[in-house]
């Protein structure tokens, strides 16, 4: 009974996946949780409040100004008297209203009034999911601390396939457990990770970038989440999907990345795996530069803030452990040692990124762990294996107990 004594407020949105929300009630109760349901007007076109009440064993709620409801429990108490709010299915419309701070029915009002952790299980047509408006809303909600599970890829009601299918009730129940009763060596810890390259604009269509794929940083985020941590992943532009249960903040430039990292603090552990551009263009043009048959005037570049060093040198609010990366093409160990001291971090993961090694963009990595007391060299491993070993190594170095 991993969720014994936990109270889940389940908001059922109006989509065909609402029928799966009924199974979710059962799965949550099997794990010991109590479940109270709110059904939007749309949800009631697919499932009835009676079905939700019968399965949850508690009266379901539908109306904002229901006299009986307000006298009995009231929308503010609904928003408060639980341990988590789960929105399943979270429709495109419900996500848009949440992102916009709307409060025009019971579900949206409770979602605006609550300070509890919120977990969304989006479900919608693939094109609705991929629409920039939905992706913008998703980014806004994630930046607000909302967690997301799914959607999954697969066949959908309209005989289409792609991302948009609601996560299965078992996956949602697991995600609820990860929020309410995390297990693993990093349970109760917040791990902040940077990943991917940054893009530094030259003009509205051109930018300076590098070959980082984000595969290693994203793998570390997954390993930290699997170890029970709450994970914030600040990612530069990559072509990797967001992961269930990981709060991913998307950024473009180094300066955006630093701002997102500072927003995400406090954290117990900071792992800075991003390949941050060292320089940015001083005056990125507002208009596209035109070729005129002559030479391009040299771009004037200035150094970007060093995110790792900025955070590692903080006197207040510094993560207990700060881990940096050193991607080198020569003198790997010597450069890593110098970097450890210069950046003020606790550990450097050093690797050789010469073209012949295929590390950049590849799936394998050969790393050396450089700490104040010594160097440990690992064999060539998959990035996933490097990630899980690194997470174990970092977890073992923590001295404080989880707050």
The CB-of-186 to ligand C5P minimum distance in angstroms stands at 20
Among 3, 276, 312, 367, contact with ligand C5P (rule: CB under 6 A): 276
Note whether 200 binds ligand C5P by CB under 6 A: no
Stretch that binds ligand C5P, among 32-40, 82-90, 227-235, 272-280 (CB under 6 A): 272-280
Note whether 367 binds ligand C5P by CB under 6 A: no
The CB-of-69 to ligand C5P minimum distance in angstroms stands at 51
Stretch that binds ligand C5P, among 33-41, 138-146, 244-252, 299-307 (CB under 6 A): 299-307
Catalytic residue, candidates 93, 137, 152, 210: 210
DSSP-derived secondary structure for 176-191: HHHHHS--STTTT-EE
- The answer to whether residue 125 is catalytic is no
The CB-of-262 to ligand C5P minimum distance in angstroms stands at 12
Q: Whole-angstrom Cα distance, residue 81 to residue 164?
A: 31
Query: SS3 string of 82-127?
Result: CCEEEEEEECHHHHHHHHCCCCCCHHHHHHHHCCCCEEEEECCCHH
Binding residues with ligand C5P: total (CB under 6 A): 14
DSSP-derived secondary structure for 136-165: HHHHHHHHTT-EE--PEEEE-TTS-EEEEE
The CB-of-202 to ligand C5P minimum distance in angstroms stands at 18
Q: Which is nearer to ligand C5P, 69 or 320 (CB)?
A: 320
DSSP-derived secondary structure for 364-394: EE-EEEEETTEEEEPPSEEHHHHHHHHHHHH
By CB under 6 A, what part of segment 303-342 binds ligand C5P? 304, 306-308, 324-326, 339
Stretch that binds ligand C5P, among 153-161, 167-175, 269-277, 366-374 (CB under 6 A): 269-277
Cβ-based neighbour number of residue 207 at 10 Å: 19
70: tokens are 């307000």
Stretch that binds ligand C5P, among 26-34, 90-98, 107-115, 273-281 (CB under 6 A): 273-281
Note whether 394 binds ligand C5P by CB under 6 A: no
Contact code string over 228-267 relative to ligand C5P, x by CB under 6 A: --------------------------x-------------
Segment holding 246, helix H or strand E: none
Q: How many residues does the chain have?
A: 403
Q: Whole-angstrom Cα distance, residue 190 to residue 356?
A: 36
Note whether 194 binds ligand C5P by CB under 6 A: yes
Q: Which is nearer to ligand C5P, 179 or 308 (CB)?
A: 308
The CB-of-220 to ligand C5P minimum distance in angstroms stands at 12
Note whether 272 binds ligand C5P by CB under 6 A: yes
Per DSSP, the three-state class of 133 is: helix
Cβ neighbours of residue 182 closer than 8 Å, sequence gap 6 or more: 188, 228, 229, 230
The CA-atom distances, in angstroms, between 225 and each of 68, 178, 186, 187, 220 are 42, 9, 8, 9, 9
Note the residues at the interface with ligand C5P (CB under 6 A): 194, 254, 272-274, 276, 304, 306-308, 324-326, 339
Q: Catalytic residue numbers?
A: 210
């Amino acid at each position: 009974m991993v969720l014994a004594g936990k109270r889940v407020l389940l908001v059922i949105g109006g989509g065909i996946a609402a029928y799966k929300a009924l199974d979710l009630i059962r799965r949550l109760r099997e794990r010991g949780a109590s479940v109270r349901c709110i059904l939007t007007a749309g949800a009631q076109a697919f499932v009835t409040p009676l079905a939700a009440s019968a399965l949850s064993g508690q009266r379901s709620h539908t109306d904002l100004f229901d006299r009986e409801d307000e006298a009995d429990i009231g929308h503010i108490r609904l928003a408060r008297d639980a341990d988590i709010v789960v929105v399943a299915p979270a429709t495109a419309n419900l996500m848009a209203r949440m992102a916009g701070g709307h409060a025009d029915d019971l579900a949206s009002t409770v979602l605006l009034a609550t300070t509890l952790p919120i977990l969304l299980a989006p479900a919608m047509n693939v094109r609705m999911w991929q629409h920039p408006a939905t992706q913008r809303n998703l980014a806004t909600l994630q930046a607000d601390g909302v967690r997301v599970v799914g959607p999954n890829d697969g066949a959908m009601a309209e005989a289409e396939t792609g991302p948009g299918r609601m996560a299965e009730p078992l996956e949602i129940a697991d995600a609820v457990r990860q929020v309410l009763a995390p297990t693993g060596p990093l349970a109760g810890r917040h791990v902040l990770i940077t990943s991917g390259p940054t893009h530094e604009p030259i003009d509205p269509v051109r930018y300076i970038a590098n070959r980082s794929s984000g595969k290693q940083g994203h793998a570390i985020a997954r390993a930290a989440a699997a170890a029970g941590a709450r994970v914030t992943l600040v990612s530069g532009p990559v072509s990797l999907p967001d992961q269930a249960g990981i709060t991913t903040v998307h950024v473009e430039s180094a300066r955006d990345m630093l701002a997102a990292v500072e927003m995400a603090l406090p954290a117990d552990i900071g792992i800075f795996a991003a390949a941050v551009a060292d320089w940015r263009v001083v005056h990125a043009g507002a208009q596209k530069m035109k070729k005129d048959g002559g030479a391009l005037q040299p771009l004037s570049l200035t150094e970007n803030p060093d995110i790792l060093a900025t955070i590692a040198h903080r006197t207040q609010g510094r993560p207990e452990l700060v881990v940096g990366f050193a991607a080198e093409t020569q003198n790997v160990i010597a450069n890593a040692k110098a970097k450890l001291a210069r950046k003020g971090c606790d550990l450097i993961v050093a690797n050789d990124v010469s073209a012949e090694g295929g590390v950049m963009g590849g799936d394998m990595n050969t790393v050396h762990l450089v700490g104040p007391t010594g160097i440990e060299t690992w064999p060539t491993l998959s990035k996933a294996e490097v990630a899980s070993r690194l997470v174990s190594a970092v977890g073992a170095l923590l001295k404080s107990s989880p707050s």
